[in-house]
Every structure is written in structure tokens, then in C-alpha cells.
Amino acid sequence: MTDKERVGLFLKAIEAIFSGMDPKTFWPLNGGQIDAYFDVVEALDMYDLLTGLRRTHSIEEIAMLMPAPDILRLFLEHNAIIGLKVAKKLGIRQISTDERVAYLGLLLEILACKVKGDIFCLDGKNLLLDAEEVKERVSAPNWDNADVQAQKDIASLIVHSNNVCYSLYYDIFMAGGFYLHGPYHAQGHFGRDTCLVVREYHNLSPKELWPGTHFYCRTLRIEGMYRHLDLKINFANHPISTTSIGDKLVAYRVFVDGKKASDADLKGLIDHAIVLTSQQTKHINALPDLDKVRKGAEIAFYLFKDFRVACGREWRAPAAIEHTITHFGDRFIKQFAYVEKPSLEHWKRLFDPRDDYY
């Protein structure tokens, strides 16, 4: 694949994201209001780490150090390219157009090592399991059949678990707490037109971000078997469906910290999720806007915590970010408060590594 083709597909993925998204609705602040305070710092930090590693390590070795694919995609949707543009615009670092295109290629090569399908999700699928892994899960004997009450319980568990992640990681960094993958074909075991969709709540206990908070579990995995489900997943890990989802569930499995949960456990999980979401939401809403930004920067760096530690680096957001917040105050919060929904052309130019537009 040529650089031009690769960039073109990436921009198609960006267009697919923003065609159905309104950044004005993001809580507690939108991406621009938070990212503007540290986009250059994060972008250059990751650029130096990854390009440095590439001189001594294979793509496969680097991929093993990186977090889940949807966290890498999230970085691409935020500061990976934009931060390099801003660095050039401000005269901080002159990273050329060709270097930005090559860097995007590096990030996409790493991503390709971590997924089993289209890295851009342009086919509506986020495939992280290979055929043997899918077969093993689908053919497992411990699936629970979903009656109407179970459909309601699983739908409730999904909604409230999602809310926990939004309250821990903000709307814009939700992949830090959960991502979904599939749909995987499952006709051989559950009849025609059935598919497996997996929801991975991979870090529900970020103690470094929220010390003193009581977390009820570390991980939660919900595996759902659906029939006649029209579901697509885009590059931003957003589920898109033209029909209802919950009533298509025919079987399910729920795992808490790696152990299968019983139906009796579901209510307790939902109750815990409601309490934690309420506490977190009240706490964050009470913060001054600049403290929301500070926490946002901390979350962004936390998503690559293990990677930075493996590289012998401190994972927490650098002190330079605090200087930016103190120096500019609420300037960027006001500047990036969207009054109107930006055009798709704006987003495509913004993420295009060949275009200095910002």
C-alpha cells in the first residue's frame, strides 16, 4: 500500500467517525478544549519514543509494548498528528510533511500487528480475535440462554458499565476503560445469522488516576451472541446500528476479573456501577474547568502508562503541561467551545498529515 493510499483510507475512517458525531456534546469538556493544553507535549513525546524504538526494534516488538488497538486508534484521533502540526506552527519542532506521513505509516503498521481485520474498520468490524479464538469462545459449553429478563439485565449492565468508564476516563478517552470488538460470525453453533460481540471493560480500577476511590472490580467482559443484528463498529469504536440491539441477544457470558459471573451477580454489578458513576460524576462536575483539563492530561498519558514504563520513562504528564495551563488559563477552553458543528472537511484537513492546516 502506498503512502497516498494509506492516508486516504485513514481520512475515510476519520470522515466515518465525525459524520455521526457532535463534539459539542462531549462531557466534561470536548477534545479541543482539553487536548490544546498538551497536544504538542504528548505528540513529541510519543514521536520520539516510537521513532527511536523503530531504529532498534521490529514493528512486532513495538506492537507488543503498546496498549490495546483502540487506545492506539484513540491517540490517532487526538494528538498523534495534530500535535506535530502545532509544534511546527509554533516553531517548537520542524517535523516535515514527509516525516508526518511516515510516522502515520509507522502507527498504522503497529496497529496492523494488533488486529485481525481492517485496521480502519471501514468494513464495520473491529476484529481482535482470530478464527481459532472465535471458535473456542463460540463453542464453549457455559453460555447462558437469554430470555426477555436476561436481555434487559445485560442491556442495563452494558449501559451502566459504559457510564462508569465515561466517568473514569471522560467521554473523549473512553477506550481507556472499554472497547467492543466483533461482530464475529457464529452461525455454526447458534444458527443462521448469528454473531458474537465482545465488550471488554479492561480497566475499571485506575487507582493511579483516582486514589481513594472504591472500585468494585478490575475487569469485566460481556460476550453476547446476537441473531439478526445489524451492527457496525467504526474507527472510534462507536457502535452503529439501524435497529435495536438488546432484544437480539440469544445467549451471553459475563466474566468478572476472569471468573464467570452468575445471573445473581448481575444486579450487584449494576448497583455498584450506578453508585460509582454517581460519585465520579459529582466529583468531576464540581471541579473547576482547568482542573478538568489537568485530569484530562493525566488520563491521556495514563493510557500509555505501561508503554512508557517499559521504555524507562515516567508515565505521568510532564510538568510543562502545568506551565501551559497556568500561562494560558481558560483561553483554549473558550477558543474550542464549539458553537456550530464543524464540517467534515475541517476534520479531514485537521487529521491529514500532508496538510499544515490546524
Indicate the domain borders of the chain.
3-114+293-351, 131-285
Distances in whole angstroms, Cα of residue 248 to Cα of each of 49, 159, 254, 270, 294: 45, 16, 17, 21, 41
pLDDT at 129: 98
pLDDT at 20: 83
CA-closest candidate to residue 294, choices 276, 320, 256, 275: 320
In whole angstroms, give the CA distance from residue 70 to residue 64. Answer: 14
In whole angstroms, give the CA distance from residue 313 to residue 46. Answer: 11
Distances in whole angstroms, Cα of residue 181 to Cα of each of 82, 83, 251: 27, 28, 17
Three-class DSSP category at 26: coil
For 93-139, write each residue's pLDDT tens digit: 999 999 999 999 999 999 999 999 999 999 999 999 999 999 999 99
pLDDT at 1: 87
For 33-45, write each residue's pLDDT tens digit: 999 999 999 999 9
